[in-house]
A and B are shown apart, each in its own frame.
Chain A
């Protein structure tokens, strides 16, 4: 495999007494789309939220094992949490722009991390919107409320919002589940474009989406990573019987 972007070694995660992730070992290659699939409650979203430590917000979460991003264990004592989240951007299930203007949504991260001077904001906003193919639609509406946009535009904007931080990794948590099929295809096309620059990890409960949009697919079941491989292999000749049962719709 080529360059590794995320690597986990013996990763366990507990919510109180409940173990949500069990001994996960995986490697996620850079500048590829990796999909995580599995039935509800299998731990795929939890695993995704390990990579930017969003699980820290939940009381009673404990993690053991190692997660290496950018050569460093992100759970090591003294690890730079805010820096990690700068490097690892996240797009959520529901489009959730701030109730601010399009422009203010995109510069939010810049202002927080003091990454650029105000004079540079205009260029950065244009670049971010161009990356998600929104610039032509929105260049005259930069100062209008982001909530007036269509859901698809809002979700693109949410992707654009993380780009000014120059992340290496984009985490997407069922990013299309609130969108219609056409918008879903558009976002998938966008992922193909973005993967030239970013490592993308997507959680989806839509197997067709995993098959269409990802290069590699991991199948999780009851907190265990059952199998991870090239997407073609997972969907045509899975190594595990359980994977085959799931993708052929026998359970899940």
Chain B
């Protein structure tokens, strides 16, 4: 074939593949915004559901999802980052670090409904936290641990070796070196992992199904031991379990969930870019 023609075809195929990636995102957005925007109102966002969810708002579900995401992050980020620091900075290639790495890979491959069952068994029943925000947050936290650990490890490994060497040569201890010369420079990458985990924690239904989510609970949770409604589960319920819910309410709920995730991501991205500007090499 004429190389110039081949070049053109290759270019067209690559462009098409790229566009095909964008297409579903655009269509999803269009459908959800198109069908759901009319439901969005102050009342919809900030009032309790009424009449078996056929009327009123979704405020408890929004707040519930926010609580669960924050809870999962509070639990998973410190644990994940510390584990990553151990793996990258301290561990040599021994059975323990190999075991941890293997576990992370396996943890990432576990289906989310299995996390739900695990959470039910461990947190709800064994520790006796009941179906509660605490149980749900911990379950979601464990689910996003692999994402946090993996991206933190990559972030730590990408900090140039000489930062550590120089710091040690100035007489800094190993921990001082990590604390002052490594972690600050890995922070943007760690935050990226947090963003990814956050999106997953906000959107998953299965892990919260048995551990926290309430079918219909038109009041706000009073403590971490309370059940709460949550957006993904609420969406599932009003789409499949309760007849007679207006279409725009269903799509409106999806739109709120999507916007919430984007908003949380945006906040994290802004924080990250602030750190990026400060630390550059």
Contacts and interface: CB of A to CB of B under 8 A. Distances in A.
Interface string A74-98: 0000000011111001101010101
Contacts of B79: none
Nearest to A91: B169
Contacts of B92: 59
A97 to B, nearest CB: 8
Contact of B171 (A83, A98, A145): A83
A108 B163 CA distance: 12
Interface in B154-196: 162-163, 165-173, 176, 180-181, 185
Interface residues of B, number: 19
Nearest to A111: B180
Interface in B9-53: none
A54 B170 contact: no
B279 interface: yes
Contact of B162 (A84, A96, A161): A96
B4 interface: no
Given A82-B171, A109-B171, A165-B170, A57 B281 contact: no
Nearest to A93: B162
A155 B185 CA distance: 21
A54 B167 CA distance: 11
Contact of A98 (B163, B173, B176): B163
A6 B169 CA distance: 18
Nearest to B173: A82
Contacts of A92: 162, 165-166, 169
A99 B170 contact: no
Contact of A99 (B168, B176, B180, B281): B281
A133 interface: no
A161 B281 contact: no
B173 to A, nearest CB: 6
Contact of B169 (A52, A98, A99, A147): A52
A96 B166 contact: yes
Contact of A86 (B171, B176, B180, B181): B171
Given A85-B171, A112-B176, A98 B165 contact: no
A62 interface: no
A98 B280 CA distance: 9
A130 to B, nearest CB: 20
B163 A162 contact: no
A196 interface: no
Interface of B: 92, 162-163, 165-173, 176, 180-181, 185, 279-281
11 contacts: A54-B168, A54-B169, A57-B168, A85-B171, A86-B171, A90-B169, A99-B280, A109-B170, A162-B170, A165-B170, A165-B171
Given A54-B165, A98-B181, A99-B185, 9 more contacts: A59-B92, A82-B172, A83-B171, A85-B169, A89-B170, A96-B165, A108-B180, A113-B171, A145-B280
Interface of A: 52, 54, 57, 59, 82-86, 89-90, 92, 94, 96, 98-99, 108-109, 111-113, 145, 147, 158, 161-162, 165
